[in-house]
Homo-oligomer: A and B are copies of this chain.
């Protein structure tokens, strides 16, 4: 017997990017005949189908992170278990994908909590939920062809089988694949709809965004600039603030680690705040509430400062500013806009092409780093979109 699929996967196959070792035809599987280069299966689809046709036992091992315990406060390595299981075969209507990039999102911490939310919590023992860029290895679904690059909720693992629901094809010629987890992915959609639909910014208004150097915040600020607003970003540390000012064209930046945010907002928002896009909650939300302009709109996108609290969440004690300033505070969930992702992606891709909108990703290699890399979302040690690279393209 030659190389088992399991072995091939475990050892990786860095010499053949794009060709998944797991289902690469081996001489054994083709009856000893050695193909010439031109004879090599053109697509993984063919090979996978071939393998199945021949009833070759492709004992592919899949590795994943499962939720082992509900975290109290900040999540730790012990809240996850790293497991291995044989990968099944896609049934009729299903696709098998190889995960290339795992998106690390602040919302993940919320998904680990029990209780009613906008999505069901990840159950104990379940593979941790994530949005990934993946490549189709086998398809029994007419909407997808082998070799397609797709985005979907494939979770924190190497391979996934999906019925194709919520899975979208993406084009690596239009943008590097990680961008589909960033500006052209959920963070970009979140920024786009949260800012434009929920906050309705008008030209000349002052837009403040917290978590400004994060995946969503960067895009919020840039779109607000494109719309002719004055943009003030709140971020942690001089490096991030400089990035906002020098690379992304923000009008002002506030380093919440070094400055009194209330005072700084007073100084940097002389006409008060028309739009506040909140990614963090806590004291920064209160500071923004204390500086609203009349008729202000606040989008509640997240509360990353609060996700890892072991105690109760802190509500904004000055929420009556909403009354004083005739303001509204509105929550939203990007999934509700799924029907309009295409329109948003088109417009944002256009802005990217014009150089008006930048996508910035920080890519960390190795599925096995997942628990530690995830933590960086909450400790603030990253710039832009944090992406885990699981396999080579």
Contact = CB atoms under 8 A, between A and B. Distances in A.
Interface of A: 116-118, 281, 286, 300-303, 306, 312-333, 336
Contacts of A313: 317-320
B329 A328 contact: yes
A326 B333 contact: yes
Contact of A323 (B321, B322, B323, B333): B333
Contacts of A286: 315
A322 B329 contact: yes
Nearest to A295: B336
A300 B320 contact: yes
Given A313-B317, A317-B312, A318-B313, A328 B328 contact: yes
B301 A323 contact: yes
Nearest to A320: B303
B314 A316 contact: no
Contacts of A320: 281, 300, 303, 306, 313, 331
A298 to B, nearest CB: 9
Contacts of A336: 326
Nearest to A333: B326
A123 B215 CA distance: 48
A121 B44 CA distance: 74
Contacts of A324: 116-118, 331, 333
11 contacts: A118-B323, A118-B324, A118-B325, A302-B323, A312-B317, A315-B315, A315-B316, A315-B317, A322-B331, A323-B333, A327-B331
Nearest to A116: B324
B331 A323 contact: yes
Nearest to A325: B331
Contacts of A118: 323-326
A153 B116 CA distance: 47
A271 B85 CA distance: 42
Given A300-B319, A317-B312, A319-B300, A328 B331 contact: yes
A341 to B, nearest CB: 17
Contacts of A331: 320-328
Contacts of A318: 313, 315
Contacts of A306: 320
Contact of A316 (B319, B321, B333): B319
A321 B300 CA distance: 10
Contacts of A322: 300, 329-331
Given A315-B319, A322-B300, A330 B332 contact: no
Contacts of A315: 286, 314-319
Given A118-B324, A312-B317, 6 more contacts: A117-B324, A300-B319, A313-B317, A322-B329, A326-B332, A329-B330
A301 B323 CA distance: 7
A336 B324 CA distance: 11
A314 B321 CA distance: 13
A332 to B, nearest CB: 6
A194 to B, nearest CB: 10
Nearest to A292: B331
A318 B286 CA distance: 15
A120 to B, nearest CB: 12
A115 to B, nearest CB: 9
Interface centre among A118, A316, A320, A329 (most CB of B within 10 A): A320
The 5 closest A-B pairs by CB, nearest first: A315-B315, A323-B331, A322-B331, A328-B330, A315-B317
